[in-house]
Structure 1
Amino acid sequence: MQKNRSKDMKADIKGIITSLNINEGNFLIPIFEAVVNSIQSIHEQVKLEPKHKGEIEVIIERDKITTDIYEGKPNIEVNYPIAKITIKDNGIGFNDVNLKSFNTAHSTKKIKIGGKGLGRFTMLSVFKNISVESIFKVGDKHYKREIPFTTEYKEEDAKKTIVHGAKSTGTITILSGLKEKFLKQSINYSQEVIADNILKHCLLYFINNDEPKILIREKDCADINLSTQFNPKDFLINEYLEEKIKNKTFNFYLVKEYKSSFNFYSYTADNRTVETKKTNTILPIFKSKVTNSDQECYVGVYITSDFFNKRVQHNRLEIRFDKANDMANFDTVSEKEVEDKVVEIIERQFAGILKERETSNEAKVKDYLRHDGIGYRWLDVDSKFLQSIPDDADIKKLDDLFHNLEYKAKNDLNKRKEKLLSRDYSNKKEYKELLNEVLSAVGKQNESKLAQYVSHRKVVIDLLGKYLEWQNEQKKYKEESALHNLFFTMGGTEKDIAHSQHNLWLIDERLAYFKYIRSDIAQLYHGLSNTESKKEPDITLYDYDLYDKSYKYGDVSSEGEIKTIVFVEFKRPHRDNLTFQEYQRQMMDQVKGLDQGIENYKGGYLNVSQNKTIFFYYVCDVKDFNKIMKDAKEFGSFRTSPYGTLIRFDQDRIEEIMTYQQVKSSSIQRNRAFFKNLGID
C-alpha cells in the first residue's frame, strides 16, 4: 500500500505543477508559501510552548556569474539573478504527521487554516530543487529529517536520523535551481522589494499581532526586520468588522501604504493576500494619496471573509466568483457587490476628502465646459459623474469622460425617441412627460452643437490674431499658404471640407454657405468651365450645387444660369512688388475664364448670366494696403467703406480690398454677441 502511494505521488507531481499555471509575474509565490509554512509551524510550536518566540529568516543568495541576461541594459543598475532562497524557522519541525501530509497531494491536514496541500508544488513550479532539513522532537528525543524534493521525488527519499544534543526544533528549506523563464524576472527583485511583498502578502498576521519575527537577509545588505516595518498602531487607519453583503460576513482593514504607488484593495484568504486591484478602477476619484495624521499616503483595503476562504483557487492567485447569469441560482456574492461595499467603506472613512475632491472636480468641470468642452454643455453632470473623474484628471481625460457620457446620453435619447414614435406609453400623462423629456434633451443638444461651432470660431479668430502677432514680432513672413490654409485648405474642394468646417466666414458670412468651392486649383480643372485657363485663384466659389440638380443657393436661375461667383486672393505680408496695377491684372485674369460658359451636372454648359455678379476679395497686410490705397482711389475709383476697407462697384463686379487685421476685427464684431453669451469673449 505504501508503495502504491509513492507511485501515485511521483506520477502526479508534473501534472500538478502544470495545472498550477505559475507564470513569471507570480515569481514570489514559492517564497510566500515557504514563509507561511514556517509561520504555521511556529504556531504549532506555540501551542506546545506558549512562551515560544518564533523567528523566521529569509536568506537571499544571487548568481554573480551569469551575466548574459543583462544584455540590452547598459549602465542600468540591476540586481544579480537569484540563485538560492533559504527559509529558516524555529517551528515544530517536520515530524511524522507533517511528513505524511507532505507525501499526500491535496493533503487536508491544514484545511482548517486554509491549507490547500499544494504549497510545495508551487515551489517546484519556479525552482528545480527543494531541499528540506528539519529537526523535530518525539518525546525526549530529537530527530533530523532530510527531504530532497524534485519532480522525481519518492517517499523513500526522505531520510530520518536521530540527533544527539539538539536543543531546539526547526526547519531549513532551500529553494535552488531557478527555472530559465524566471531567471530574468528575478533581477527585478531586490532585498527590499522581496521584503515588502512578503509583508504585504502576510499583512493580516501583523494586523492581528500573530506574526513571528521575520528577517530578510542578503549579503552586503542590512537585515530587514518586518516586525519593525509594520506596527498596527502606526499603520492601521481603521477596521470595519462583520460587515454584511447579503448573508455573508466580511471584514475590512484600512492600512496606510507608504511604499505603494497607488490605492488598492486586496482579497485575502486564510490570512494571505490573493488578489490586489487598483481602487481607482471602481472609484476613480480616489486615485491620489490621502492626508492622514498630517502624512500623505496611499490606502490599502484588506478584505477577509470565510466566503473568500472557501472560494480561493488552489494556486491562491484568484477568488472564484460566480458569473452574473449564475447568480439567481446560488446563495452567493458577486464581485460587483464586494466592490460596491469597498466603495461604501471608503466613502464612510474618507467622506471629507471625497467631498473636497468632488468640489474640486465640479470646479474643474465648470472651467472645462466654459472653454474646451462647450459642446458637452447639454449633458447632465451629477454627483456620480463627478466621482468618476480621477482627482488628477487633465483635459485629455475630461475629453474622454465627456465623450463616453455623451455616447450614453445619445443612446438614451434615441431609446426615448423610439419609445415616443412607437407609442410605447400607457397613458396621456406618460406621453406628455416623455415628449417633454425628448424635446428638452433635443433642444439642449442642438444648443450645444451651436455653442461648439461658435467656440470653434473664437479659436480660429484667436489663431489668426496669434499668427499676425508672430509675424510682426519676428519680422519674418512665410508664403501665404499658412494663412490660406487657415481659411480653406490649399488644393481642397467642398468634397474635402464641409461648409461648417472651413473658415471663409472670416471674410464674409455668406461665403459659409456656398456649395461649390475650389482652392488653389487651376480654372481648367474646376469641373464647371470649358476654359483652358491655367490660372489658379486662391479661392473660387460658385453658387451651384454640382451634386444636386435642385439649386441650393438663391442666385441660380431656373434656366441653369449662375449669377454669383466669388474670387478670394490672399497676399503674403510685406511683398516688395505689390502695386495697384498687379491687383488689376490678377483680378482680370481670374474673370476671363468665365466667358465661355460653365458645365452643369449633366455635362452641358451653363450660361454665365449677363446679370451675373462677381465678388472679388483681395486680402493683404496693412503695409501693402497702404501702399496701393492711393492709386486704387485715384485711378481705380475705389472708395473707403464704413469698415475701413477699399470697395469698388464696377458693372457686374464688386471688389473689396482689405487687410488681415480688418478681417480679424470684423469677425470679432460680428460674433461678439455670441461669444459674450457663451462667456468666451
Structure 2
Amino acid sequence: MEDNTYISADGVYYEGIIRDIKRSKTSLQPIYEAFTNSLEAIRIKANDDETFQGQILIKIYSTQNIDQTFSFSRLLIIDNGIGFNDKEFKRFNTYKDFTKGFKNLGSGRIQFTHYFDTTTVKSVYKAEGGFREREFIVSKKKEFLDNNAITYHKQDIGSSFQTSGSTIIFEGLLDPTRNIYHKLNDASLKDALLRRYIQYFCLNKNDLPDISIEHFVFNEKISSSSITNKDLPEIDKTTEVNVNYSKISDDAFTIVETDNHEVFTINSYKLNKDLLKYNELKLTSKDELIENFEIELQSLAKDEVIENSHFLFLVSSDYLDSIDTNERGEFEIPDNEIFSGEPDIFQNDEVIILDLLVMKLNESIYHLYPQIERIQEKRELDLKKLKEMFLLPDHLDPSLEISINDSDKKILEKFYTSEAIKKAELDSTIKESIERLNDLDTTSDDFSETLEEEIDKIVEVIPQQNKVELTHYVARRKLVLELFTLIIEKNLSIQKSGNRNKDEALLHNLIFQQKTTTPDKSDLWIINEDFIYFHGISEFKLSEIKYKGENIIRNDLSDQELKYLDSLGEKRLDKRPDVLLFPQEEKCIIIEFKNPDVSVAAHLNQINNYATLLRNFAKPELRLTTFYGYLIGEKIEANDVRAYDADFKFAYNFDYLFRPQKTIAGMFANEGKDGSLYTEVLKYSTLLERAKKRNNIFIKKLTDRSLD
C-alpha cells in the first residue's frame, strides 16, 4: 500500500454509505468497536502463542473547566495484539468484509467517522524480515469524501519495535453535546465495558487480557481502574431454549409454527442489587450486549430483589449473530402485530417471531429459579385481591397487556382507560341510534320494524353502560367500608403511633369531612342513603352556619336572648354540631360522633341542646320544628342509655336504640311553639354492618360473588 494515499474501492460510494449507515444510538459505540478490534487482535495472536498475555490500555484525556467540570479531549486504545498487517488492513478497508473469524461486519469504522473528526491508527505488525509500523487516519472530512474514501494511508515503514500492537486515537468530538464523553472517566468507562461485554468476559474469564483504564487531566494522570476476574460474576445458571420458526398459514390468515427451530442459550448472572440496578433480560450478538433492542422480562419484575440480588439474563444464539446489521446490534425481529400489517416478512417462508421468542425465554426463566415461581404465585394472589377490592372481572381483557412490572396503580389505570374507551363506544352507539330516529318515516311500511331495531340496540347498550358506572360506584363504597373497618379495629398506622387518640376525628372525616359543606361528596350514605342529597355542613359554629347562602341564626336577637346565649360562660352559639343536614324546610338532622372509647350514655342531652338552640334562634322562615338526631359511638351499654332516659327503646332489627319523640322547648319568641326530636343511639359497628349488607347486595348482582 502506497504512503500518503486515500483508499477507495471499486463499486463503493462512501458518501452514500456514510448517509445510509446511521450514527449508532449508543454514544460509546466507536469505543466498543475499537475495543472489540483489540480483543480480536489479541485472540488471533494468542492462537499462535499459548504463553502470550494480552494487554489493553485505554487512556482518556480531558481538560478541566472553570466550574471544575471536564471537557473531553481525546481517547487512546492501546493493545499488544497482532496489529494491522497487510491482511488485517485489507479487511479493515473492505466494506462488509465477512471473512474475519469473529463475525465482524466490517462497518465499525463508519461509527468512527460519525463521532470523531479523526481517528488515527498507529500499528506495529510482524512481517518478513522483522516488524513494520503502519499509520492511517479514518475520517469523513470533505477531503476524504472528495477522494471517495474514509481512510488515508499515511505510511508503512520499518520499525525498531520487537512486538506487535496497535494504538487507536479518537480526536475531535463531532457532537459537543454528547455529555457522556465529557463526563467519561476510568470508573464510568469500566462500568460501561463491564455491562457491554459481560457475556464475553464471563465466557472467556480465564483468558482475558490485562485491561486498564487511565484518566488524564491536562496530561496528568489523576485516576485509574482495571478490569479483572474479581469484577466478573460466575454464570449462575445456564439453559437452552428451542424456538420454532413460524410461517404464514395456507389460508394466509394466521401464523403457524414449523418443525425447524433455533437454539437460544440463556446465561443467568446473579449480581448484588447495588451493582445491577434492575433485573434485565438482554439479547447478545457476538458475545456483546445489544443495548438498543428491548425484550420484555415477563417472569420477574424489574425491581424484584431475591436474596439481596438482581438477575441479568443474557441470551445468545447463532441466529442473533447472523441477523446483526451494519449498525451493530441494530436489528429487527418481527412480531405478530407487524405480521398483521406486513405479511411480506414471510417472503423468506420462515422467520423467528418475537412474540414466540419472548414467551419461550420467559417460560424457561420462570422455571429456572423456584424463587421466581413463588414470586409469580404471590403476584397472582395480589392481583386476585386487587380484582376483588375494585370489583374487576376475574378474567381481564388480554388486550390490557398486564405486565409483572405494572404497579397496582398501572393495572387500574389500564383497566379504567379500557373501560372509558368502551363507554365512549357505548355512548356513541346510543347517539347514533337517536340520530337515526330523526330519519324515520312514520308512514313507511317498515317503520315499526326499523323502530324496533333501534330500540333493541339502545336497550342492549344501556345496561352495559350502567353496569360499568355502577361497578365503579360500588367498588369505591367497598373501599370506604374497608377503611371504616380498619379505624374501628384501630389498625391504622396513625392509631398505633402512640399519639393522642384521633379515632373520633378519623371516623368523622371518613363519613363527612370536617369544615366542608358538600354532603353529596361525602360518605353519609353509611348512615342513610338519602343523607348525601341534602344541604348540610360539618363542624361549623352555630353562629357561622349558612343555609342557601344566608346565616341560619337570627340577626334580631333580643337582649334577653343574647344574655341567655352567653350565660354561665357557655357561649352557646360557638358550639359546633358535628353534622347538620337540612332535608327540607321545617326539618333538621343532627349527627354527633363520639370517640369509640367514650361512654355514649353520658352525652344523650347533647343533641337535645343543639335542637333547642336551632328551634329558638334560627330564622323564623326556616320554621325548624322537626328534628332527627343520631348519636353514634361504640361504647354503648343499653341499660345505661335507658337508665338516663327510659323513653329509649330497643330496635327490632340491628343493635341500636331509638327514642320516638322528645319535646324540644320553644322559648323566648317561640314560647309555646315546641318542636319534636326523634333520636337514635347506635354503634359504629352497627353502621358498618348495615352498610356492608346494602353494598353486598349490589356486588352480588354485579359480579355473582360475595365479598364479605
Give your verdict on TM over 0.5.
yes
- Asked if the contact 2:333/2:352 (under 8 Å) is kept, the reply is no
The size of the alignment, in residue pairs, is 597
What is the CA deviation profile of residues 556-609 of structure 1, one whole-angstrom value per residue up to 9, with x for unaligned ones? xxxxxx56432335689999xx999986554223124666435xxxxxxxxx69
Give the equivalent residue in structure 2 for 1:298: 311
Q: CA distance change for structure 1 residues 438 and 116 in 2, over 3 Å: closer, same or farther?
A: farther
Aligned ranges for residues 209-608 of structure 1 at < 5 Å?
213-218=208-213, 224-225=227-228, 229=232, 234=235, 237-240=238-241, 243-246=244-247, 250-259=262-271, 260-269=276-285, 272-275=288-291, 281-283=296-298, 285=300, 287=302, 298-304=311-317, 309-310=322-323, 312-314=325-327, 316=328, 318-320=330-332, 324=338, 327-331=342-346, 337-348=353-364, 350-351=366-367, 353=370, 355-369=373-387, 373-380=388-395, 388-390=403-405, 397-405=407-415, 407-408=417-418, 450=474, 452-463=476-487, 466=490, 484-494=508-518, 497-498=519-520, 502-505=522-525, 508-509=527-528, 511-512=530-531, 514-519=533-538, 525-527=546-548, 533=554, 538-544=578-584, 562=585, 564-569=587-592, 586-592=610-616, 596-597=620-621
Equivalent residue for 2:687, pick from 663, 667, 672: 667
SS in 2 for 1:380: coil
Task: In structure 2, give the amino acid aligned to 1:568.
Answer: I
- Asked if the contact 2:236/2:268 (under 8 Å) is kept, the reply is yes
- Asked if the contact 1:266/1:301 (under 8 Å) is kept, the reply is yes
- Does residue 147 (structure 1) correspond to residue 156 (structure 2)? The answer is no
Question: CA shift at 1:653, angstroms?
Answer: 1.5
Q: CA distance change for structure 1 residues 384 and 288 in 2, over 3 Å: closer, same or farther?
A: farther
Q: CA distance change for structure 1 residues 617 and 181 in 2, over 3 Å: closer, same or farther?
A: closer
Question: CA shift at 1:470, angstroms?
Answer: 8.4
Question: CA shift at 1:88, angstroms?
Answer: 0.6
Structure 2 CA distance for aligned equivalents of residues 537 and 85 of structure 1? 80
SS in 1 for 2:125: strand
Task: In structure 2, give the amino acid aligned to 1:590.
Answer: L
Give the equivalent residue in structure 1 for 2:96: 108
Structure 1 CA distance for aligned equivalents of residues 687 and 99 of structure 2? 79
Question: CA shift at 1:673, angstroms?
Answer: 5.3
- Asked if the contact 1:17/1:124 (under 8 Å) is kept, the reply is no
- Asked if the contact 1:514/1:542 (under 8 Å) is kept, the reply is no
Equivalent residue for 2:80, pick from 78, 85, 89: 89
Task: In structure 2, give the amino acid aligned to 1:342.
Answer: V
Task: In structure 2, give the amino acid aligned to 1:328.
Answer: P
Question: CA shift at 1:216, angstroms?
Answer: 0.9
Give the equivalent residue in structure 2 for 1:35: 35
SS in 2 for 1:670: helix
Structure 1 CA distance for aligned equivalents of residues 488 and 581 of structure 2? 22
Give the equivalent residue in structure 2 for 1:653: 676
Structure 1 CA distance for aligned equivalents of residues 492 and 242 of structure 2? 67
- Does residue 119 (structure 1) correspond to residue 132 (structure 2)? The answer is no
Q: CA distance change for structure 1 residues 437 and 215 in 2, over 3 Å: closer, same or farther?
A: farther
Question: How does the TM-score come out when normalised to structure 2?
Answer: 0.64
SS in 2 for 1:330: helix
Task: In structure 2, give the amino acid aligned to 1:31.
Answer: I
SS in 1 for 2:690: helix
Question: CA shift at 1:26, angstroms?
Answer: 2.4
Identity of aligned residues (%): 14
Q: CA distance change for structure 1 residues 526 and 464 in 2, over 3 Å: closer, same or farther?
A: farther
The CA RMSD over aligned residues, in Å, is 5.9
Equivalent residue for 1:158, pick from 130, 154, 160: 154
Range moving further from structure 2, 37-46 or 473-482: 473-482
Q: CA distance change for structure 1 residues 418 and 357 in 2, over 3 Å: closer, same or farther?
A: farther
- Asked if the contact 1:377/1:448 (under 8 Å) is kept, the reply is no
Structure 2 CA distance for aligned equivalents of residues 82 and 197 of structure 1? 24
Task: In structure 2, give the amino acid aligned to 1:258.
Answer: K
Structure 2 CA distance for aligned equivalents of residues 64 and 3 of structure 1? 32
What is the CA deviation profile of residues 428-476 of structure 1, one whole-angstrom value per residue up to 9, with x for unaligned ones? xxxx9xx999989987995785465244224225435649998999795
Task: In structure 2, give the amino acid aligned to 1:252.
Answer: F
- Asked if the contact 1:134/1:170 (under 8 Å) is kept, the reply is yes
Question: How does the TM-score come out when normalised to structure 1?
Answer: 0.66
- Asked if the contact 1:567/1:617 (under 8 Å) is kept, the reply is yes
